[in-house]
Copies of this chain bind each other. A is one copy, B any other.
Amino acid sequence: MGYYSEPLKQEKVIRDPVHSHIYIQDQIIMDLINTTEFQRLRRIHQLGTTSQTFPGAEHTRFTHSLGVYEIVRRICNQFQRNYPSQTPGDGNWDDSERLVAQCAGLLHDIGHGAYSHTFEHIFKTNHEKITQAIITNPETEVNQVLRKVSPDFPNQVASVINKTYPNQQVVQMISSQCDADRMDYLLRDSYFTGAQYGKFDLDRILQVMRPYQDGICFKISGLHSIEYYIVCRFQMYLQVYFHPISRSMEVILGHLLLRAKELADSPKRSADFHPDILMPFLNGTFDYEHDLKDYLKLDDGVLNTYFSTWRDDSDSILADLSQRFIDRKPFKSAIFTDENKPLLPKLQNIIEETGFDPEYYSESDNSYNQPYDVYNPQSQHSNAQIELIQKDGSFVELSQASLLVRTITGKDIGDSRFFFPKEMLQPEKNVELFKPLYDNFQSYIQNDKIKQPEEN
């Protein structure tokens, strides 16, 4: 394995606020950036509804993808300088792998769509499958560019992204617990939200990274830098990614798409409710191979344009949820635990009594993530654990070397929240009539947590 591409005579640069500049050194990379499928990422925000909480977070998957490419490029440079392979299989870095690694870094998110998380949840699509399709389908511009390297090159790039590529050094650059993807998004999300928490020390981590027989490891002298990176990731989950306001907007979005799906299925709306670009998804006929073009037409602007229009729809639930989403009227929420989860149906009853359909106006959402995980043969989503190499060549697994990491290893971090209309806490109308209902509802909540009301 090993790919050749003509380098650009003059390296080109793209200005980027996170990495200062992105350096483009191959015509292939330039051509991939110029494809319609890649340019489309300019119209898909990286963080979906998060900009509703952190308004600076308007950045897109386009700049993130460039950033991942740039980190991969820097890793390759460092590996080639300090650990160049002398003989095949010596565990060092073979620089002919650089091109496939850089392409995979650039394209790893090419299948993402508008509000991916919620969209996929409602419509059962899968952006990873679409990534594979875009890379391997001969009709895409991306595929046509990749084929210039060799007929099998698209498959190689795709296999890096789905982790079946034989060289684990390349795979782990893109997908592991300390990979170019995660490192770029932490720094980038931190920069654009203005949250301070994600600013780990990229330069230092790149210095202590090294290739070895089974993939990528880190020099033990970098222990604390990696520990800090894990903590930064942990903080970003707690403070940014799991922020209740953003999740509340996602809840509204999900209910909104669900309602649209129901209307599209409803015979009486078949004549007048016909959002063209969304139809394959609303009626469940989407096919990864034949409808790829349709999928590629979807972006944040297209969805928002529909929602914006639907604010005037005749269906009052669709119209109300669209307005809440577009004009940012988030639901409120309260934390619940397994213990008091049985109280939720009671709360839903009260919500219903005040006139809201609880199917659309309430939701329980669990947001949890493991900041770091060690190898577990039973786990479906096992990630390579982080290995530290000592002076004598022996390895220590990260959580063995770091007290802080050990604490959060394998732990689910996050919370479970019950979402409901803000009106339940701050009623604007019907106040006198429904006051006993509102009071009853509020008696279940203390310090933003669900609790058993006290007896009178």
Binding site for B on A (CB under 8 A): 10-11, 13-18, 20-21, 34, 36, 39, 42-43, 51, 53-56, 58-60, 62-63, 66, 82, 191-197, 199-201, 203-204, 207, 220, 224, 227-228, 231, 234-235, 238-239, 297, 299-302, 304-305, 308-309, 323, 326-329, 390-392, 394, 403-404, 407-408, 411, 413, 446-448
Complex: chain B residue closest to A219, CB-CB: B10
Q: Give bound CA distance, A191 to B194, whole Å.
A: 11
A197-B228, A301-B302 known; A55+B16 contact, CB < 8 A: yes
Looking across the interface, which residue of chain B has its beta carbon closest to that of A35?
Answer: B327
Q: When the two chains form their complex, are residues A56 and B63 in contact, meaning their CB atoms are under 8 A apart?
A: yes
In whole angstroms, how far apart are the Cα atoms of A435 and B301 in the complex? 41
B contact residues around A15 at 8 Å (CB): 53-56, 193-195
For residue A238, which residues in chain B have a CB less than 8 angstroms away from its CB?
224
Shortest CB–CB separation between residue A120 and chain B, in angstroms? 20
A235 CA / B235 CA spacing, docked (Å): 15
Contact A13 B194 (CB under 8 A): no
Instruction: Give the top 9 A-B pairs by smallest Cβ distance, nearest first.
Output: A301-B301, A17-B194, A407-B407, A196-B201, A17-B56, A58-B58, A390-B447, A36-B327, A301-B304
Residues of chain B with a CB closer than 8 A to A403's CB: 407-408, 411, 413
Contact B308 A391 (CB under 8 A): no
Residue in B closest to A411 when the chains form the complex, CB atoms: B403
Q: Residues of B contacting A407 with CB < 8 Å?
A: 403-404, 407
Q: Is the CB of B297 within 8 A of A301?
A: no
- Report the bound CA distance from A323 to B51 in whole Å: 28
Q: Quick check: A56 and B16 within 8 Å, CB to CB?
A: yes
Nearest CB in chain B to that of A43: its residue: B304
Given contacts A36-B327, A191-B17, A408-B404, contact A55 B51 (CB under 8 A): no
* Residues in B whose Cβ lies below 8 Å from that of A34: 327-329
Give the docked Cα–Cα distance between A327 and B15 (Å).
19
Residues of B within 8 A of A448 (CB): 391
| A151 vs B404: C-alpha distance when bound (angstroms) | 50
Query: Which residues in B have their C-beta under 8 angstroms from that of A36?
Result: 323, 326-327
B392 with A13: CB separation less than 8 A: no
